[in-house]
Amino acid sequence: MKLYDTPLAPNPRRVRWFMAEKGIEDVEVITLNLLEGTHKQPEYLQKAGLANVPMLELDDGTCFTESVAICRYLESRYPEPNMFGRTAEETALIEMWLRRAEMLVATPFMLGVRHSHPALAVLEQQNPAVADYNKEQGLKALKVLDRRLAESEWLAGERITIADIVAFVGIDFGRMIKLKPPQDLAHVNRWADAMRARPAAQAGMPKAAA
């Protein structure tokens, strides 16, 4: 298998983190340079269908993008440690927090960065109003996580799951514009410190950004 990757983008980092938690080391990682547009080259687009990173290419040539889809596939190939749920109830709970993490927190944080960081202007037409709105919404949604983390060590239960990875990677991407959880969100900050302390947190991260 081959994982088409780029170092600083949050979605590929989700997959690298997921692989590190599971100890997956037999996937070849191919690094693309988004700022140079290598993800828009015809050969890549023919495989991916869209100019999206990451992409997983299987040995038979099957390719798919979308970070959570890739992680679900890897979960089926490498089932332990479990990250998506063992029982029907646990799976549903993890899925609920995964969707909340992505829609309420990670996506707004990522859009806030994409529409305001100067270096990312080459990737899309930036809109400061979009950046401001999403930063405000992401910070507001952190209160939802804080309430949950007041009663649970991790977002979906007693262990780290894909929901924690998606939430934290989106939040941590905010460092590029000095966007971070307010100090009064004690439970979010306790959880974030625990996530940051995990060896997998540095999976594939450039030394300058670690």
Provide the residue ranges of all domains of the chain, joining segments of one domain with +. Answer: 2-77, 88-199
Residue pLDDT, tens place only, 185-195: 999 999 999 99
Provide the mean pLDDT of the chain.
Answer: 93
Give the E-state strand segments of 44-160 in sequence order: 55-57, 63-65
Q: What is the mean pLDDT of residues 103-125?
A: 92
Domain spanning 88-199: which CATH class is it, in words? mainly alpha
Residue whose C-alpha is closest to residue 163's, from 95, 82, 75, 104: 95
- Two domains, one topology: 2-77 and 88-199: no
Q: Is the pLDDT of residue 158 over 80?
A: yes
Q: What is the DSSP letter of 129?
A: H
Q: Which residue has the higher pLDDT, 202 or 106?
A: 106
pLDDT at 210: 33
15: tokens are: 């997959």
Rounded CA-CA distance 146/42 in Å is: 44
Distances (CA, A) of 15 to 44, 77, 150: 19, 14, 27
Asked whether the whole model's pTM tops 0.85, one would answer: yes
Q: Look at the domain 2-77 and name its fold.
A: Glutaredoxin (3.40.30)
Distances (CA, A) of 198 to 33, 72, 141: 27, 21, 24
pLDDT at 201: 93
pLDDT at 205: 64
Give 160's contacts (C-beta < 8 A, 6+ positions apart). Answer: 21, 83, 154, 195, 198
